[in-house]
Structure 1
Amino acid sequence: MSQLIRVEDLRVVACGERGESEIVKGVSFALEKGEVLALIGESGSGKTTIALALLGYARRGCRLSGGVVQVGEHDMLALSEKELQKLRGNRVSYIAQSAAAAFNPAKRLLDQVVEGALIHGLGTRAVLEAKAIALFRDLALPNPERIGQRYPHQVSGGQLQRVMAAMALISDPLLVVLDEPTTALDVTTQIDVLRAFKRVVRERGATAVYVSHDLAVVAQMADQIVVLNGGRIFEQSATAPLLKGPAHEYTRSLLAAARPDTSIRPPCGIAEEQPLLTIKGLTAGYGNKNTHGMPAIRVLEDIDLTVRRGQAIGVIGESGSGKSTLARVVAGLLCPALGGLTFDGQPLGGCLSERTDEQFRRIQMVFQNADTALNPMHSVSTILGRPLKMYFGLKGAALHERIGELLDLVRLPRTLAERRPNELSGGQKQRVNLARALAAKPDLILCDEVTSALDTVVGAAILELLRDLRQELGVSYLFISHDISTVRALCDDIVVMYSGHKVQAGTRQAFAQPPFHPYTDLLIHSVPELRQGWLENCGTTCGELPPVGARSDEPELCTFLDRCPVRVDGLCNRSAPVRRNIDGGSEILCHHDSVELLKTQRDVINLSQGAYA
């Protein structure tokens, strides 16, 4: 085998007001035909910059300053822009992190998949459309003959990600660059997409560079791994030996961060018995209400939940399960249709207009994406100063000192106070996002997927910060996530949501081992493990499952019925499940008892472990 990809002493500089600074510092690696190489590291490590250099491209404000990037017979750094345009989307293809941002919402999917290949003259429209449909089939897209007639908004995120893969592969490229292609997906959707990517890459003999911050994901895809930090290679190895015995301390820190429920110290029982927030019989949704006051689209149904003072409750589930809607109701951003809320013993209005100023102050929300939550035109001090002025009337020296204290609290240097969000890293922006919530001195903070957009190391640091702040300030959290490992790292109790219903609730200890609700079992076994071969034997699916939110035709039946791998025909499809307590202390909404669930879930575990005994 000969080297298909060769990178030698690659250097990239960033150009700013203070001159040029080197951000990729002499990186070298090689790749044989048919191999998959992973570039991993924290945000800012240079992995995406290096991946884009394989296309002969540097982002605005950057310049490819030196080295060799050889793709087949092409020296990408020696070619003109016109020559590069002939290669991009043809001999070298790119799969971006956000498929939603990569597609034109006004054009059908099939037209966009074949467009690049038509421009490069790789075949007639009829030939390319037939090839696209074959790729849709290989990528396990539903109804491959017709899905191309849909528009981007008419398919799920996981489906759109696979359509983008078809767009990249239709030209039979020498190299495919996959840039964090599953980061924005739910854990269950991520598995389906990874399986589809891996199968197509292997079957078609494609050569690929996979960019990620997640070692567990990389372990399923890559033949070799390059570990980056600060634009330098810290370690380079075949996948198996690197996972078994990493040589560099930084690599070991990445491995630890990939296991958040073991790398973070467990909660220290500071919760009090006194309820802070109580939710009873909550039903909420969107759209016009009927004559009975019920919304056209019900998102939450009959939710009961209690958060005690100093307690952290995790709420998990896939997109569409109702997690964020629950947070919006608690925040007063969505009025419930039924049910009531009580906060610190007093009725809590469903809408902001029905709440007192003090209730408004005491419940704060930290949003998922700090990039959109922070005003890019304002400095950090202006952002933090606004709630301090509004709630406490601070000004002058007192205001300046309190801003400094808040930065200390979230472990940011006070020198960042006059910077704007675009001058901060992703982790720094999320800390400012949290500091703004803390400025109000709240009793309850609603954390909506606050680590999902961050790399594993930065995400683990944010979890550690949240844990310490809870202990120091006695604040309560309603922590929303789709990753049960993240929730187990921080929370005392866990609530599992599916299609608007609470299907399991219990202590974090109850989620350490079976039995679980079948949906909880699906989520737990969808979290990638740090070993090769896990993807093929993770035991998370039983045939083709409908998407989250797909319900039985009978609305009073179990909402998980059509996706459940342990459904009992004649029981589950005829009567509604009841809430019951199972071994371990959890309450579940299911027909099965502890013995039935435990036997099924032990069989799954034994099957998975047996493959690697």
Structure 2
Amino acid sequence: MSALLEIDDLRIEATSYPPGEKPRDVTIVDGVSLRLERGRVMGLIGESGAGKSTIGLSAMAYGRGGVRITGGAVRLNGTDILSGGARGLRRLRGKAVTYVAQSAAAAFNPARRLMEQVIETTLAQGIPRSEAEARAVTLFARLGLPDPDTIGSRYPHQVSGGQLQRVMTAMALCPGPELVIFDEPTTALDVTTQIEVLAAIKEAIRDTGVAALYITHDLAVVAQVADDIMVLRHGKMVECGATAQIIGAPREDYTRALVSVRQVTHPEKSAAADPLLRIEAVTARYRGLALDVLKDITLDLAPGRTLAVVGESGSGKSTLARVITGLLPPAAGSVRFDGRDLSPALSGRSKNDLRELQMIYQMADTAMNPRQTVATIIGRPLEFYFGLRGAERDRRVAELLDEIELGKGFSDRYPAELSGGQKQRVCIARALAARPRLIICDEVTSALDPLVADGILRLLQRLQQEEGVAYLFITHDIATVRAIADEIAVMHRGRVVRQGPKAQVLSPPFDDYTELLLASVPEMREGWLEEVIATRKAATPEGTRA
């Protein structure tokens, strides 16, 4: 069969502007080739910076942010699209090739109705409005959207994140393209929503017969939709082959590491002591809202142990962290630490209260001052809590950098000079500098690549063993929970619906919501998603999926 898309020896470059240095060209994609036939899906997988999205966008002859295609060929149906000029690109983009972005919210105009945006490129091809709208309604139904005949009349803010992601998929399929580029289409979604969208995408690809490039860093996800997988690293191809071969018998060390990621084992600990943290009957709401965001929450966390608080966005996980840290005083209930009541408000807490309870945030980029060096960032709590100055402070900073496996060579670097994983390690070191007894970890691995996240989990586990620190670990990732937790609390709509030791919470019988969470974790097993699709079709009347 002739290939729909052929990429030969692709080379892509960009210009780097290092501070205080002359601009220089850097290679982003180095000699990558691939072949994609009609009706098939190729997954592009690798860590951030591997070149996945850059290669995907090259199939539209597009380079974002000053990126330049400097070598090789990209052919669609045998035609070199790199030499087609502006007119050729207009015929290509939005017609022959379409794109589904990671963030649906950023892809839609909030002031225009969904239908108008879905059919825009279809109308540009001269197709009558009635036919374009009929195509869109058919796709809405095929993608499992509620009320497919009328959902197009809504505005983007009137549908959920998962629904908007499926509407964007409909927008990409409506013009009848030959190739669709899916760029991390489920990464920004809740765990329960991811599988709904993934199933809808898989069914739509199968039903329409389009070819697709599916870009992701999650091997378990791509294993469910791709016929073939290309593994990328540092802009080069590491390995390429059929999905079953890549998952079952990877040839390269890097691929084997991706397949085995998140296999952190959590050591058994002795029976729990008296609680270090006790949350008693806490109810909380935000100013100006009559609705309770937290409803009668009661939880305990013992010294040196890890309590994972799990649930989808909006379940109240991060709000609970704000109550514990004093950023949001509760409307009712209390927070006790080491047997003493903590002031509901941050301003009423002692310096020792602040020191013993630290927090690590999800986005390390926004948690650090970009104008401060690593040494200043880590040194601030050393000065504030212990009065360390000069050589004594520098010595302790160096010790902490060794603890987080970076080394004192990073002292003079700024956040912009660090990778995502290195930034998160610096945030961990800053929390450890206070010598806390409890660290709240709020989605600290969710923005990281799988291998980097795996390293952070292993680091946190080692530090707990060495320092005896307790963790309250907020996440929506069940794989992370299995790796790091001693106890689990499952939150849904502001309430704790299940809690207890990990083995107990992850074992049947389940409440409905916990069962849904556990069933929404993709497995690297052939046919798993088809089983999920079949089960949900059998259990859900046609047209009622949310």
Question: Is the TM-score greater than 0.5?
Answer: yes
Aligned partners of 1:379, 1:126: CA distance in 2, in Å?
59
Residue among 153, 157, 164 paired with 1:160? 164
| Distance change >3 Å, CA 111–CA 307, structure 1 → 2 | same
- Residue 237 (1) aligns with residue 241 (2): yes
Is the contact between residue 228 and residue 241 of structure 2 (CA under 8 Å) also seen in structure 1? yes
Aligned partners of 1:401, 1:153: CA distance in 2, in Å?
52
| Distance change >3 Å, CA 80–CA 159, structure 1 → 2 | same
Spell out the pairing of 1:36-435 with structure 2 (5 A cutoff).
36-81=41-86, 83-118=88-123, 120-257=124-261, 260=262, 263-269=263-269, 273-288=273-288, 296-435=290-429
Partner secondary structure for residue 82 of structure 2: coil
Is the contact between residue 332 and residue 349 of structure 1 (CA under 8 Å) also seen in structure 2? yes
Is the contact between residue 71 and residue 174 of structure 1 (CA under 8 Å) also seen in structure 2? no
Question: Deviation of residue 416 (structure 1)?
Answer: 3.1
Partner secondary structure for residue 70 of structure 1: strand
The one-letter amino acid of 2:234's match is: G
Aligned partners of 1:51, 1:500: CA distance in 2, in Å?
40
Moved more, 409-418 or 32-41: 409-418
* TM-score normalized by the length of structure 2: 0.93
Residue among 456, 466, 488 paired with 1:494? 488
Question: Deviation of residue 272 (structure 1)?
Answer: 5.5
| Distance change >3 Å, CA 117–CA 399, structure 1 → 2 | farther
Aligned partners of 1:70, 1:437: CA distance in 2, in Å?
51
- Structure 1: give runs of 5+ residues left out of the alignment: 289-294, 548-561, 564-613
The one-letter amino acid of 1:284's match is: A
Write the deviation string for residues 149-206 of structure 1: whole angstroms up to 9, x where unpaired.
2222222111111111112112111211101110111221111101111111111111
Question: Deviation of residue 385 (structure 1)?
Answer: 3.3
Is the contact between residue 270 and residue 311 of structure 1 (CA under 8 Å) also seen in structure 2? no
Write the deviation string for residues 199-237 of structure 1: whole angstroms up to 9, x where unpaired.
111111111000111111111100111111222212111
Provide the residue aligned with 2:33 in structure 1: 28
Partner secondary structure for residue 148 of structure 1: helix
Provide the residue aligned with 1:536 in structure 2: 530
Partner secondary structure for residue 418 of structure 1: coil
The one-letter amino acid of 1:502's match is: V
Moved more, 170-179 or 509-518: 509-518
Question: Deviation of residue 282 (structure 1)?
Answer: 0.9
The one-letter amino acid of 2:459's match is: L
Aligned partners of 1:114, 1:175: CA distance in 2, in Å?
17
Question: Deviation of residue 245 (structure 1)?
Answer: 1.5
Question: Deviation of residue 331 (structure 1)?
Answer: 1.4
Question: Deviation of residue 240 (structure 1)?
Answer: 1.7
Provide the residue aligned with 2:6 in structure 1: 6
Question: Deviation of residue 106 (structure 1)?
Answer: 2.8
Q: Tell me the C-alpha RMSD between the 2 structures.
A: 2.3
Spell out the pairing of 1:467-482 with structure 2 (5 A cutoff).
467-482=461-476
Provide the residue aligned with 1:525 in structure 2: 519
| Distance change >3 Å, CA 422–CA 108, structure 1 → 2 | farther
Question: Deviation of residue 335 (structure 1)?
Answer: 1.3
Aligned partners of 1:423, 1:79: CA distance in 2, in Å?
38
Question: Deviation of residue 43 (structure 1)?
Answer: 1.7
Is the contact between residue 328 and residue 334 of structure 1 (CA under 8 Å) also seen in structure 2? yes
Aligned partners of 2:536, 2:163: CA distance in 1, in Å?
18
Is the contact between residue 498 and residue 505 of structure 2 (CA under 8 Å) also seen in structure 1? no
Count matched residues.
538
Partner secondary structure for residue 36 of structure 2: strand
* TM-score normalized by the length of structure 1: 0.83
Is the contact between residue 172 and residue 180 of structure 2 (CA under 8 Å) also seen in structure 1? yes
Moved more, 13-22 or 496-505: 13-22
How much identity, in percent, do the aligned residues show?
A: 53
